[in-house]
Structure 1
Amino acid sequence: MTYSALLALLLLPVLAASAQAQSLLPVARTQQLPPPRKEKFQLYLLVGQSNMAGRGLVEAQDTVPTPRVLRLNKDGQWELAQDPVHFDKPTAGVGPGLTFGRDMAALDTSVVIGLIPCAVGGSGIDVWQPGAYFPDTQVKPYDDALARTRLALQQGTLAGIIWHQGETDSTPEKSAAYRQKLQTLIGRFRQDLQAPTVPFVAGELPAFQLAGPDPDGKRHPNPSLKRINHALVQLKQDVGHYTYVSSKGTHDRGDQLHFDAASARLLGHRYAKAMQHLQRAPLPRLR
């Protein structure tokens, strides 16, 4: 059996479950006005590629809205957050964003959380810079994220950024430059959004994302993936008010690429815990 045929066979239950999950997707969303005081509306920018956007299968628990967790929809309107939070592709599903938002709301019952979904499936870090165009989805990821965040800032305060990306950059050449590129991206977001100390949390790539098959048809650990994860660790030496979350214990949805829904929620909890830690930490000195 060829590798393509084997992959197709493995994906059959995933596709069947996906079709069943379509019935759970919210048909109508409820628009909600944010609180009148900007300091009570804490905004979080969600950026990266498909594992931030979410590809987990939607379950009933993912469609229950939380009154104090909103999302900025595609049209720039605030509504009660439900999965899928993102809208980058029709395959958008459960990602870490909603669980993250729920956890952050639980930490302070006096505030409302606003999620700004801007992740784009398949986008490499090179298109996360001003003017860069991503033909797969016909968007400019960085410019769009900046515009949506500035719109949200008219009513709220930026409290943090979470980032999960790197699958597209898991090649020997691209992974070697990842550390510097992500450091530049963090600095650019902070400068362009006039938020020099905004907390930034990145997520590790999972071990189940193996390298492509060798001629023998077997898949092996991807050294480029390890290099990217090592870069996330090293960035703590270079960037203030930054940390990363582990992908340990996560599982794929059957495609050896995307987190299943349970793992996406687990990452959401980890992002919230890391964000809380950064927000309580002393602010770095500005140079």
Structure 2
Amino acid sequence: MRHRLLSVVRAATMLALVPALACAQPRSAPVPTKDMQLFLLVGQSNMAGRGTVEAEDSTVVPRVFMLDARQQWVPAREPMHFDKPKVVGVGPGRAFGVDIASAWRESEIGLIPAAVGGSSIRSWEPGAMDGPTKTHPYDDAIVRAKAALASGRLAGILWLQGETDSNAQGPADYEQRLRAVIANMRRDLDAPDVPFLIGQMGRFAEKPWTVHRTRVDSIHQLVARTTSRSAFVRTDGLKHRGDTTHYDTPSVREIGHRYAKSFLTMVPAPARR
């Protein structure tokens, strides 16, 4: 009899909790359509982001989505990348996406995070591996982009890379390799005219550029100037987070805004339906 009474009490308690539990459940996340404007985010750690995540970086913004590590569309929240989970933080991609959504009011924006911190441009070619992360940056980016294409069209590629190759050997063939990255991505994603935006490497007063980094920067500018549908995005005047390598959170958001401004000068908003 005592056991039966306890069962009744437990059942009543659970029934009383149901409304509270239901209220505690998160609202269902918005689901994107099949007509998204997609942007591939590639390069190394400053594209992946190392800024400290703040409240505004986790706020859901209507019509701005990201492809997560499981290749599922979810609202774009920082950190978006997953290259190095212990250190990844705020990157420029989300701020870029929010600006594009604001300008393209009838479009849903799909961001495809695929940067790998510390990756050399040599790992951004088909079949190549990045040793420290044991990943294949180029191949993985293409796989993720192709999965995303089921939900829309590729509208742009954002590139922010170069620090790892700013050494005595790196600049020698950097131009050739960067041109190959652009050509390969456009070919493999069947997007021969997709805009390719090249971001400038971080330049901070506390850590003057070496001659090698200056050479890589000049290559970035040359390739952007001489490649169709390409642009160079300046990142001067910004701050690092204290390590003279990675941008702080406000600065990395500003880079996203600058990418968006550059992109919007190249590509008109889609026609209103």
Q: Equivalent residues in 2 for 1:1-287 (5 A)?
A: 31-36=29-34, 38=35, 41-90=36-85, 91-208=87-204, 220-280=208-268
* CA pair 108-208 structure 1, distance change in 2 beyond 3 A: same
* Bigger radius of gyration: 2
Q: Secondary structure at the match of 1:76?
A: coil
Query: What is the Cα deviation at residue 107 of structure 1?
Result: 0.6
Alignment size in residue pairs: 243
Report the TM-score, using the length of structure 1 for normalisation: 0.81
Query: What is the Cα deviation at residue 31 of structure 1?
Result: 4.8
Deviations 1:214-251, CA, capped at 9 Å, x for gaps: xxxxx653111111111111113431000111111111
Partners in 2 of 1:96 and 1:171 — Cα distance?
Answer: 25
Runs of 5+ in structure 1 lacking a partner? 1-27, 211-218, 282-287
Partners in 2 of 1:237 and 1:113 — Cα distance?
Answer: 27
Query: What is the Cα deviation at residue 146 of structure 1?
Result: 0.3
- Whether contact under 8 Å (1:200, 1:243) holds in the other structure is yes
Deviations 1:52-96, CA, capped at 9 Å, x for gaps: 000001111111110210000000100000110111112110110
- Give the aligned residue type for 2:135: V
- Whether contact under 8 Å (1:32, 1:70) holds in the other structure is no
Residue in structure 2 matched with residue 12 of structure 1 by the alignment? none
Deviations 1:6-39, CA, capped at 9 Å, x for gaps: xxxxxxxxxxxxxxxxxxxxxx997542114x2x
Partners in 1 of 2:121 and 2:208 — Cα distance?
Answer: 24
* CA pair 29-115 structure 1, distance change in 2 beyond 3 A: farther
* CA pair 220-159 structure 1, distance change in 2 beyond 3 A: closer
Query: What is the Cα deviation at residue 278 of structure 1?
Result: 1.8
Question: Among the aligned pairs, what percent are the same residue?
Answer: 45
- Whether contact under 8 Å (2:200, 2:234) holds in the other structure is yes
- Give the aligned residue type for 2:137: P
- Give the aligned residue type for 1:64: T
Query: What is the Cα deviation at residue 180 of structure 1?
Result: 1.7
